[in-house]
Amino acid sequence: MGAARSRRHAARVTVNGTHPQGVDVAIVGGGAIGASAAVELANRGASVAVLERGAELAWGCSAGNAGIVGASHVLPLADPAAVRDGLRWMTRPDSPFYVRPRPGVLPWLARFTAAAAPARVRHSRTVLRALATSSAALHAELDAGGLDAGYRRRGMLNVFGGERAFAAARAAAADDAGDGLRAEVLTGHALTALAPQLIAPFAGAILYPDEAHVDPLRFVRATGARAVELGAEVRTGVEVLGLRRRGNRIDSLWTNHGDLAVGEVVIAAGVWSAGLAAQLGVHLPIEGGKGYHLDVEDRPGDPELPIWLHESRVVVTPLDGRVRLAGTLELTGTDRGVDPRRVDAIAGAVRRAMPAFASRRTVDVWRGLRPCTPDGLPVIGRPPGVENAILATGHGMWGLQLAPLTAQLVAAIASGEPAVHDLRPLRPDRFELGYGPSPSARRAAAAIFSSPGSAASSRFLA
């Protein structure tokens, strides 16, 4: 993307009603989405303040994930297999996709089940793939423009232990070719030559040679620093307590440091966005999907590209000075506790596939709450009846991947420009417009929910 690119085609952000002591745009949330939006908006001439309730940028979920910024892995969270396996995996608290039983999650599960209908999955996949492909190109542009995010374009290796899963992956790779994604099928000596660290027997692998990865925390910090260079303010330790409205506009934000007058408000607060959206009359069915990673010490001979272990849904990503082991997703509301079973499951999966990691020293254990919508699509757009608010949330596991494009879409909305992608599938009120779950979906969700320790599996990366 880069500053020069934005200046070439972007109009200045213009807002009405900003008080002298306020800002043109206040961005609630200092993660990958918020920091990226700050760059785009400040570059278009707006005075911007990023409000992050944590002590630093990326305090929430943006600091930790596998760091993949390619398009091949971006798929809808819900699919028919996820619902089917949810029943089969009820007693697996260490499963890749775990649902903590509680009444509040049942409506979300019902919508998730409805979104797993084949036609819905095809639609969501088409939308996500288009967004991810555009954003992957923007990540490359950011690197070319000097953003110090640890960007490496070394490919990604998807490894499969079972013949059935490998056959399905080969078919998926053929479909990916239709989206312009190159893929290579590797077995035997070809796989060993590329990834000699893999010791366990594997049916084969799919290499996506054009995929890239970054260091997530480094990306957010570098993006925030660029926003500051462009004149944006980053205010940490600032929690937005409420939205003060006057008619169909937000007049100011009530924070723990007092009121802030605003012209535009961008709500990019991850899982916490639903509470603020409710003040605008929008119901967002966003669940906190807790993801984990372990960073371990690196050693000579480590993988040079990310490796996805399909059966365990764990990704091994080389970063500067360490190797990241990332995986699992558990729907636990806003609970940020660490479940040692989840951590052990990640470490055990990697040890079985690559025994050389068995003796590695752990340098960091992390968890964060991903803002997950039941249909797997982000929420980007203005809430109905509010002139000066933009929601940019619900990206699930794809916040880092989609951050550069989301920022451009947010800036286009604020500037009154046509968006480069169709925003209708992402509209904030879509969950109130006839997309509710059917009775059969509600029954299936109830079955998944019915047993303590219930779980569902899905196709996802951390």
Q: Where along the chain do its domains lie?
A: 2-155+210-449, 156-207
Distance, in Å, from the CA atom of 28 to the CA atom of 250, rounded to the nearest integer, reads 13
Q: Which amino acid is at 250?
A: I
Q: What is the CA radius of gyration of the chain?
A: 21
77 burial level (CB within 10 Å; 0-12, 13-18, 19+): buried
Q: 417-441: b or e for each residue (b if 16 or more CB lie within 10 Å)? A: bebebebebbbbbbbeeeeebeeeb
Mean pLDDT to the nearest integer, 400-425? 96
The matching CATH number, chosen from 3.40.50.2300, 3.40.120.10, 3.50.50.60, 3.40.50.1820, for 2-155+210-449 is 3.50.50.60
pLDDT in tens, 35-56: 999 999 999 999 999 999 999 9
- pTM (predicted TM-score): 0.90
Of 355, 221, 367, the closest CA to residue 291 belongs to 367
CB contact at 8 A, 262 and 22: yes
Distance, in Å, from the CA atom of 41 to the CA atom of 360, rounded to the nearest integer, reads 43
Cβ count near 364 (within 10 Å): 12
pLDDT of residue 98: 73
Distances (CA, A) of 400 to 81, 268, 393: 26, 13, 12
Place of tokens 């809808």: 76
The DSSP call for residue 149 is: S
- Structural tokens at position 211: 């995929």
pLDDT in tens, 137-166: 999 999 999 999 999 999 999 999 999 999
The DSSP call for residue 375 is: T
What is the percent of the chain with per-residue pLDDT over 90, rounded to a whole number?
A: 75
pLDDT of residue 258: 95
Place 453 in a pLDDT band, splitting at 50, 70 and 90. very low
Cβ count near 182 (within 10 Å): 14
The DSSP call for residue 21 is: T
pLDDT of residue 46: 97
Give, for 366, the enclosing helix (H) or strand (E): strand 362-372
Give the CA count within 13 Å in the CB-facing half-sphere of 335: 12
Distance, in Å, from the CA atom of 352 to the CA atom of 429, rounded to the nearest integer, reads 45
Provide the 3-class DSSP secondary structure of residue 393.
strand
Of 155, 164, 132, the closest CA to residue 207 belongs to 155
Of 316, 312, 399, the closest CA to residue 356 belongs to 316
CB contact at 8 A, 114 and 120: yes
Distance, in Å, from the CA atom of 227 to the CA atom of 48, rounded to the nearest integer, reads 9
pLDDT in tens, 259-272: 999 999 999 999 99
- Structural tokens at position 158: 């998807």
- Structural tokens at position 70: 């390619």
Instruction: Report how far Cα 233 is from the mean position of its chain's Cα atoms.
Output: 24
pLDDT of residue 7: 35
Distance, in Å, from the CA atom of 429 to the CA atom of 414, rounded to the nearest integer, reads 18
pLDDT in tens, 291-305: 999 999 999 999 999
Place 415 in a pLDDT band, splitting at 50, 70 and 90. very high
Provide the 3-class DSSP secondary structure of residue 9.
helix
Q: Calculate ∠ Cα 454-458-461, nearest 5°.
A: 120
DSSP string, 275-344: HHHHTTT-----EEEEEEEEEEE--TT--SS-EEETTTTEEEEEETTEEEEEEEEEE-TT-----HHHHH
